[in-house]
């Protein structure tokens, strides 16, 4: 009778675990975007905690005041930098919106000179054609509106009904664009609010969440869970610091190099290089494409110089800078990282691409600690230890030998 009860109990536990796993997969598939926002909040909380701990260590202030100062400094630096460079960079970005389509038009003309180039252009989707890119850029900079006004005046003799229909359709188009823009801005603000609020809650009392999470596990495993959580914090903090250093060095270096070359819109291109550096493998090269296209407007020689300078800086960064600043962070295999970036980019777009690297770092730490160390490299238990471990820590007869064996298991698990 006891065996039947134990069997039924184990079947019920297994069914419950399978149900939880299925529910986890379902929620992950349905709400992956929200989970990525929460992970972004945790990542920002790691940065806040690192800054707070440094202030506490250096000044001896209490944690609450240190966190307040850290958050003020963080957002103060961002707002101050934006205030200083926003006028110049905003004007350069407007120029960039006009220059890049013109450069693409030159590339198209050059490709049309060759048979293979014409065939290649025919395979480009219509949405990515140079004409569409130019019209989009002109509409963004306001030139499209003036063009529509001129065409409307030229067609004024078509009749009152035609003018009324044209005005109505134009107003509808403007309204839809404004509505879409407001909706996009509102969605971005909500996402940022979720990330910031999550970060502040986690950074204000990290022990509340880490110890609460560890309490979900058996008592004998809670210390190990806390150890893994501390390693995750250390890895993410090291990765964030390394990325901020790398982004700053690349952004400043690109700005200086572009100014020396005499490249127009150097600061806007350097800002692009700074932000794209956050995306390993893919981001730096995406930032190089606009720079080469802008250089092409100054001539083929300038474009080649920009390409050589950009490629040289990326080589120095990849083979010298990154290994030095990433030595404390987890080493991510480039091929695996690229695959994970493409996967998350396809599934969740820009947000998935941004968070692919730190999320892969978390997964690698969990695999290394919980699978490789705790399962593959774990020492096998002897017969007495295995019997007590299998039946539970309090279900065996409390003999002297059982006490000794139990103590050996506890020491081994610690």
pLDDT tens digit string along 37-56? 999 999 999 999 999 999 99
Q: What is the pLDDT of residues 328-384, one digit of tens each?
A: 666 788 888 888 888 888 888 888 889 999 999 999 999 889 888 888 877 665 555
pLDDT tier, 319 (very low <50, low <70, confident <90, very high otherwise)? confident
Question: What is the pLDDT, as a whole number, of residue 231?
Answer: 93
pLDDT over threshold 60, residue 57: yes
Residue 116 lies in a domain: yes
Percent of the chain with pLDDT over 90: 20
- Would you tell me how many other CB atoms lie within 10 Å of the CB of residue 208? 11
Residue 410 lies in a domain: no
Q: What is the pLDDT of residues 145-176, one digit of tens each?
A: 444 444 444 444 444 445 555 555 555 666 67
Question: In terms of Cα–Cα distance, which of 270, 276, 279, 297 is closest to 89?
Answer: 270
pLDDT over threshold 90, residue 72: yes
- Tell me the average pLDDT across 261-287: 86
Question: In terms of Cα–Cα distance, which of 357, 79, 76 is closest to 242?
Answer: 357
Contacts 24+ apart (CB under 8 A), 77-82: none
pLDDT over threshold 90, residue 136: no
Residue 138 lies in a domain: no
Look-up of token digits 């069997």? 7
pLDDT tier, 26 (very low <50, low <70, confident <90, very high otherwise)? low
Question: What is the pLDDT, as a whole number, of residue 130?
Answer: 52
The whole-angstrom separation of Cα 125 and Cα 111 is: 16
Question: What is the pLDDT, as a whole number, of residue 38?
Answer: 92
The whole-angstrom separation of Cα 302 and Cα 165 is: 48
Helix (H, G, I), strand (E, B) or coil at 123: coil
pLDDT over threshold 50, residue 397: no
Tell me the angle at which helices 160-204 and 206-214 cross, rounded to the nearest 10 degrees: 80
- The 10 Å CB-count burial string (b at 16+, else e) for 231-265 is ebbbbbbbbbbbbeebbebbbebbbebbeeeebbb
Average pLDDT, the chain: 76
Question: What is the pLDDT, as a whole number, of residue 156?
Answer: 45
- Tell me the average pLDDT across 262-288: 86
- Most confident stretch, 20-34, 165-179, 303-317, 397-411: 303-317
Q: Quick one: how many helices (H) and strands (E) in the chain? A: 16, 0
Q: Which two tokens stand for residue 223?
A: 């210390």
Residue 359: which domain range?
Answer: 31-130+173-377
Decide if 328 contacts 242 (C-beta within 8 A).
yes
CA neighbours within 13 Å on the CB side: how many for 153? Answer: 5
The whole-angstrom separation of Cα 231 and Cα 226 is: 9
Residue 397 lies in a domain: no
Helix (H, G, I), strand (E, B) or coil at 287: helix
Q: Is the dihedral of CA 90, 92, 96, 102 positive or negative?
A: positive
Decide if 261 contacts 328 (C-beta within 8 A).
no
pLDDT over threshold 50, residue 409: no
The whole-angstrom separation of Cα 338 and Cα 356 is: 9
Burial degree of 141 (CB within 10 A; 0-12, 13-18, 19+):
middle
Helix (H, G, I), strand (E, B) or coil at 399: coil
Question: What is the pLDDT, as a whole number, of residue 405?
Answer: 47
The whole-angstrom separation of Cα 166 and Cα 152 is: 8
The whole-angstrom separation of Cα 382 and Cα 388 is: 10
pLDDT tier, 413 (very low <50, low <70, confident <90, very high otherwise)? very low
pLDDT over threshold 80, residue 112: no
Task: Count the domains in the chain.
Answer: 1
CA 62 centroid distance within chain: 32
Of 412 and 316, the structure prediction assigns the larger pLDDT to 316
Helix (H, G, I), strand (E, B) or coil at 311: helix
Of 186 and 172, the structure prediction assigns the larger pLDDT to 186
The whole-angstrom separation of Cα 393 and Cα 6 is: 16
- Tell me the average pLDDT across 207-225: 91
pLDDT over threshold 80, residue 267: yes
pLDDT over threshold 90, residue 232: yes
Residue 185 lies in a domain: yes
The whole-angstrom separation of Cα 277 and Cα 255 is: 14
Residue 87 lies in a domain: yes
Question: What is the pLDDT, as a whole number, of residue 80?
Answer: 85
The whole-angstrom separation of Cα 404 and Cα 407 is: 5
Question: In terms of Cα–Cα distance, which of 135, 166, 140, 164 is closest to 151?
Answer: 166
Q: Which two tokens stand for residue 121?
A: 């252009």
Q: Which two tokens stand for residue 295?
A: 């250089």
Of 94 and 233, the structure prediction assigns the larger pLDDT to 233
- Tell me the average pLDDT across 274-279: 88
pLDDT over threshold 60, residue 133: no
């Amino acid at each position: 009778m006891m065996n039947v009860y134990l069997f039924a109990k184990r079947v019920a536990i297994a069914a419950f675990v399978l149900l939880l796993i299925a529910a986890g997969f379902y929620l992950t598939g349905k709400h992956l975007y929200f989970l990525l926002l929460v992970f972004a909040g945790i990542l920002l909380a790691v940065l806040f905690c690192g800054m707070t701990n440094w202030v506490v260590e250096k000044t001896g202030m209490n944690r609450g005041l240190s966190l307040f100062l850290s958050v003020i400094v963080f957002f103060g630096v961002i707002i101050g930098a934006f205030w200083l460079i926003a006028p110049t960079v905003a004007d350069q970005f407007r120029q960039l919106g006009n220059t890049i389509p013109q450069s693409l038009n030159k590339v198209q003309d050059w490709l049309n000179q060759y048979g293979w180039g014409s065939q290649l252009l025919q395979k480009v989707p219509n949405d990515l054609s140079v004409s569409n890119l130019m019209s989009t850029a002109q509409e963004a900079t306001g030139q499209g509106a003036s063009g529509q006004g001129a065409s409307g005046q030229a067609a004024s003799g078509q009749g009152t009904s035609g003018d009324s229909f044209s005005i109505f359709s134009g107003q509808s188009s403007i309204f839809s664009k404004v509505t879409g823009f407001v909706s996009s801005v509102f969605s971005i603000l909500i996402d940022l609010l979720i990330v910031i609020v999550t970060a502040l809650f986690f950074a204000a009392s990290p022990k509340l969440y880490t110890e609460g999470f560890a309490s979900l596990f058996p008592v004998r495993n809670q210390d190990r869970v806390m150890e893994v959580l501390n390693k995750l914090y250390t890895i993410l903090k090291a990765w964030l610091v390394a990325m901020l250093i790398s982004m700053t060095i690349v952004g400043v270096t690109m700005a200086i190099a572009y100014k020396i070359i005499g490249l127009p819109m150097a600061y806007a291109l350097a800002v692009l290089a700074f932000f794209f550096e956050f995306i390993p493998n893919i981001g730096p090269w995406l930032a190089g494409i606009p720079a080469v296209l802008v250089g092409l407007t100054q001539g083929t020689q300038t474009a080649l110089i920009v390409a050589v300078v950009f490629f040289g800086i990326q080589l120095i960064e990849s083979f010298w800078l990154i290994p030095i600043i990433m030595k404390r962070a987890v080493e991510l295999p480039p091929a695996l990282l690229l695959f994970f970036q493409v996967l998350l980019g396809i599934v969740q777009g820009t947000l998935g691409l941004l968070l692919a690297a730190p999320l892969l770092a978390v997964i690698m730490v969990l695999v290394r600690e919980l699978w490789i160390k705790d399962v593959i490299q774990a020492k096998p238990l002897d017969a007495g230890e295995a019997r007590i471990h299998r039946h539970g820590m309090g279900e065996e007869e409390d003999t002297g030998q059982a006490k000794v064996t139990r103590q050996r298991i506890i020491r081994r698990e610690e």
